[in-house]
């Protein structure tokens, strides 16, 4: 092969490389513009009159993005009402309290309906209490009013392994409870007092929001779960039903029930989940073949580290 042919092939390869890189850059730039436009729309909220809806699902935690979204709904005049759909076994007491208070601020400006779907237990029910009207299905699960504190006790395991732990601390209650030895009577009393205080706050919330005497709130707030039908009988919800019941309540509050229901969803986290199209992902995969594997590992690690025990069905 002569020099002219080699030079021609090199030029062709350079051109192909240039256009491939240009194509990938254009795809990524386009995806970025789509993401920016989406973020701008979410920040401002829909302009047309509508009924906003948010979903509370999974483990309830201190979620700053959700709190900000709820606040924006309250400040958006186009949002004439708010539906809070709940499918959650609960979570942290603080997370539930923060979301409850944020929704109550919205309720001071516009009607709010809590729509219990599959499950709204513990902190999930706490959030449902923020609604002006609570709707549930006949077989929805709710209740579980109470507070629990659990921690593992691994001292027997350490003893079997022949491992002992020595500790020196400033006061007897420092770092109590610990999984390395059973709590003292004093430490157990401190923990119980903390639980009792949080429980009293929860019960008072039920009594206040459900307009029932505290003695009655204590009876239905003994930690039991119940179906939607049972919850209606116990006065923990207002009505059995679904979308039609929700619309009927809005109508009673002078909100047009025919307004479009707009889901105010959380933006996906991470660049690849935010605005990148399938084409952009494919292009990035071509450049970074191990990308999918890295994402998979990251998801599993984050889930494992963030796992928290809440109310769940035990078939034993």
- Which of 80, 110, 114, 122 is an active site residue? 122
Say whether 211 is catalytic: no
How far from 56 is each of 71, 79, 121, 137, 285, CA to CA, in Å? 15, 18, 12, 16, 33
User: Cα separations (Å) of 257 from 73, 77, 80, 181, 253?
Assistant: 18, 16, 10, 58, 10
Question: Which residue, among 137, 135, 84, has the nearest Cα to 107 in the 3D structure?
Answer: 84
**In angstroms, rounded to a whole number, what is the distance separating the alpha carbons of residues 155 and 165?**
9
In this structure, how many other beta carbons lie within 10 angstroms of the beta carbon of residue 142? 27
The active-site residue, picked from 174, 251, 269, 301, is: 174
**Phi-psi map region of 112: left, alpha, beta (phi>0 left; psi -120 to 50 alpha):** beta
Asked if 165 and 144 count as a contact pair (C-beta separation under 8 A), the reply is no
- Identify the DSSP state of 184: P
Residue 301 known to be catalytic: no
Kindly list the distances between the CA atom of residue 174 and the CA atoms of 170, 188, 190, in Å, as whole numbers in the listed order.
7, 13, 11
State the catalytic residues.
122, 174
């Amino acid at each position: 092969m002569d020099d002219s042919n080699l030079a021609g092939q090199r030029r062709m390869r350079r051109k192909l490389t240039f256009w491939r890189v240009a194509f990938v850059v254009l795809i990524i730039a386009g995806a970025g513009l789509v993401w920016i436009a989406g973020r701008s729309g979410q920040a401002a909220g829909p302009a047309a009159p509508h009924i906003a809806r948010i979903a509370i699902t999974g483990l309830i935690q201190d979620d700053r993005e959700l709190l900000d979204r709820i606040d924006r709904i309250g400040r958006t005049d186009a949002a004439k009402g708010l539906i809070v759909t709940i499918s959650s076994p609960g979570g942290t007491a603080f997370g539930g309290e923060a979301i409850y208070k944020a929704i109550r601020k919205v309720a001071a400006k516009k009607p709010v309906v809590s729509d219990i779907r599959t499950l709204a237990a513990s902190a999930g029910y706490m959030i449902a209490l923020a609604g002006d009207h609570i709707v549930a299905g006949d077989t929805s699960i709710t209740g579980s009013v109470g507070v629990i504190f659990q921690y593992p006790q691994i001292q027997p395991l350490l003893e079997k392994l022949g491992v002992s732990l020595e500790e020196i601390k400033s006061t007897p209650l420092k770092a109590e409870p610990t999984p390395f030895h059973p709590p003292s009577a004093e430490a157990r009393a401190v923990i119980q007092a903390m639980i009792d205080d949080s429980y009293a706050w929860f019960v008072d919330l039920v009594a206040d929001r459900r307009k029932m005497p505290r003695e009655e709130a204590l009876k239905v707030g003994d930690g039991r779960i119940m179906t939607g039908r049972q919850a209606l009988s116990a006065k923990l919800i207002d009505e059995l039903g679904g979308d039609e019941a929700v619309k009927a309540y809005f109508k009673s509050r002078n909100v047009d029930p025919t307004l479009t229901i707009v889901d105010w969803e959380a933006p996906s986290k991470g660049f690849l989940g935010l605005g990148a199209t399938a084409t952009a992902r494919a292009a990035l995969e071509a450049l970074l073949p191990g990308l999918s594997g890295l994402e998979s590992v990251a998801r599993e690690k984050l889930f494992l580290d963030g796992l928290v025990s809440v109310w769940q069905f035990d078939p034993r």
